[in-house]
Structure 1
Amino acid sequence: MRNFIPSWIRVPAVFFIIAGIVEYTIDSGDKPAFIEKPMVLLFLILVLLIIIAIEAIVSSINNVLYQSLDEAAKARYNAQKSKTPKLISWTSEAYQKLLGSKPMEEEHEIVLDHNYDGIKELDNNLPPWWIYGFYASIVFAAIYLVRFHVFNGENQYDELESDLVQAKIDIEEYKKNAKDLVDFNTVELLTETSDLKAGQKLFEMNCVACHKADGGGGIGPNLTDKHWILGGGINNVFKTVSEGGRDGKGMIAWKQSLKPAEIAQVASYLLQFQGTTPAEPKAPEGDIWIDKNAPTEDVVTESVEVQDIKED
Structure 2
Amino acid sequence: MKQFFPSWVRVPVVFFIIFGLIEYFVDSGEQPAFIKESSVLLFLLLVLIILVATEAIVASMSNILYQSLDEKGKARYDAKKEAPSALAAWVKSTYKKLLKSKPVEEEHEIILDHNYDGIRELDNSLPPWWLYSFYISIIFAVIYMFKYHVFDGDNQYVELEQEYAEAKIAIEEYKKTAKNLVDFNTVEVLTETSDLKAGEAIYIANCVACHKADGGGGIGPNLTDNRWILGGGIKNVFKTVSEGGRDGKGMIAWKQSLKPLEIAQVSSYLLQFQGKTAAEPKAAEGDIIWPENAGE
Structure 2 SS opposite 1:141: helix
Displacement of 1:229 in angstroms is 1.9
My pick for the range that moved more, 242-251 or 87-96, is 87-96
Residue of structure 2 equivalent to 1:291: 292
Which residue does the alignment assign to 1:254?
254
Equivalent residues of 2:245, 2:253 under 8 A apart: yes
What's 2:165 paired with? Answer: 165
Structure 1 equivalent of residue 238 of structure 2:
238
Q: Is the Cα contact below 8 Å between 2:232 and 2:295 reproduced in 1? A: no
- Structural RMSD (CA): 3.6
Query: In 2 relative to 1, CA 286–126 (structure 1 residues): closer, same or farther, beyond 3 Å?
Result: same
Q: Is the 8 A contact 1:7 1:88 kept in 2?
A: no
Identity of aligned residues (%): 72
Q: How far does residue 140 in structure 1 lie from its aligned partner after superposition?
A: 0.8
Q: Distance in 1 between matches of 2:294 and 2:232?
A: 12
Structure 2 segments unaligned to the other structure (5+ residues): 14-75
How many residues in Structure 1 have an aligned counterpart in Structure 2? 229
Partner in structure 1 of residue 201 of structure 2: 201
Please report how far the alpha carbon of residue 184 of structure 1 lies from its aligned counterpart in structure 2 after TM superposition.
2.3
Question: Which residue pairs with 2:83 in the alignment?
Answer: 83
* Deviation per residue, 1:200-243 (Å, 9 max, x gap): 22222221221123322221112223332222221221111112
Q: Give yes or no for the alignment of 1:136 onto 2:129.
A: no
CA contact (8 A) 2:182 2:261 kept: yes
Match of 1:181 in 2: 181
Matched residue, 1:92: 92
Question: What is the distance in 2 between the residues matched to 1:100 and 1:159?
Answer: 43
Q: Is the 8 A contact 2:233 2:294 kept in 1?
A: no
Q: Give the CA deviation at 1:129.
A: 1.6
1:9-35 deviation per Cα after TM superposition (whole angstroms, max 9, x unaligned): 59xx9xxxxxxxxxxxxxxxxxxxxxx
CA distance in structure 2 between the aligned counterparts of 1:121 and 1:232, rounded to whole angstroms: 91
SS of 2:141's equivalent in the other structure is helix
Name the SS for the 1:153 alignment partner: coil
CA deviation map 1:178-203 (0-9, x unaligned): 32332223211111222222222222
Counterpart code for 1:124:
N
SS at match of 1:184: coil
Amino acid corresponding to residue 290 of structure 2 in structure 1: W
SS in structure 2 at match of 1:214: coil
